[in-house]
Amino acid sequence: MRNYERALIVGGSRGAGKELALMLSGQGVNTTVVARSEDTLARLKSEAPEVSTRAMDAAADGVANELMKEVDPDLLVLTVGHEPKMVPFYEQSWDEFSGAWNTDTRIAHAFSSAALTQPMKKGGVVVSFSSGAGLSGSRLTGGYAGAKRMQHFLTDYAQKEAELLGLGLTFYSIIPKQLVQGTVLGLAAAEAYSTAVGKPLAQFLNQWDEPLTANKIANHVMSLLRHSEPAEKKAYVITGTGMATA
């Protein structure tokens, strides 16, 4: 694998972010994980004492610039995942509807901006997680699909700006295209949609040939990070059966 020195994972206390933190730290990368939940960070710390953890709201004003200066990562991973209220949009308040915009998209905007303006050292890599909802919609999650689509666009915009500025940075967009089994959000979405279509949960999940798990996602991302040179394509969809360019 390419020799990363310092990784900053935002939203890395559970799911694919946690799996990546364990894999990177296990390979000797100085890894810092930021999340809001002290409980999930404590569990991560118990599994990997070498990982540095910070309990804070990454969407708060100034946090992105502060963390990017403090950690000075050559690998930045944005895996934050807002948990939307699983009901039709007309049953959501505007604050509920726009939740993902004010967390996931805001964080992508702030950290991608910091990577460009501070900037990260030449050769730095940014991995931003979007969602399959951003490709096909998700009617029971309010503004989540639009927010994740915008997050994907932001990653593409950041890559173009980095090239125009000659920064030598690489921005990857990762798009899990199935519900991620074994995660809080994946289970909530599966339960809501299986009820909406009138199918038992197990039958609903059987629509996919192979389940998608956080560990599978992390392994695919690690395969991308192993490239000594940036991959030509910068956006990838991941399913239970593999990873492909978007």
Nearest one of 192, 194, 216, 220 to 207, comparing CA atoms? 194
**Global confidence as pTM:** 0.94
**How far is residue 135's CA from residue 105's CA, in Å, rounded to a whole number?**
15
Residue 103 has which token pair?
A: 């967390």
**How far is residue 158's CA from residue 162's CA, in Å, rounded to a whole number?**
6
Residue 62 has which token pair?
A: 């100034």
pLDDT the model gives residue 244: 96
pLDDT the model gives residue 133: 94
pLDDT the model gives residue 229: 85
133 phi/psi in degrees, rounded to 5: -60, -30
Tell me if 32 sits within 8 A of 55, measured CB to CB. no
SS3 per residue for 62-92: CHHHHHHHHHCCCEEEECCCCCCCCCCHHHC
Tell me if 12 sits within 8 A of 38, measured CB to CB. no
Low-confidence ranges of the chain (pLDDT < 50): none
Nearest one of 71, 68, 171 to 123, comparing CA atoms? 171
pLDDT the model gives residue 106: 98
Domains delineated in the chain: 6-245 (3.40.50.720)
pLDDT the model gives residue 200: 92
pLDDT the model gives residue 1: 63
pLDDT the model gives residue 137: 95
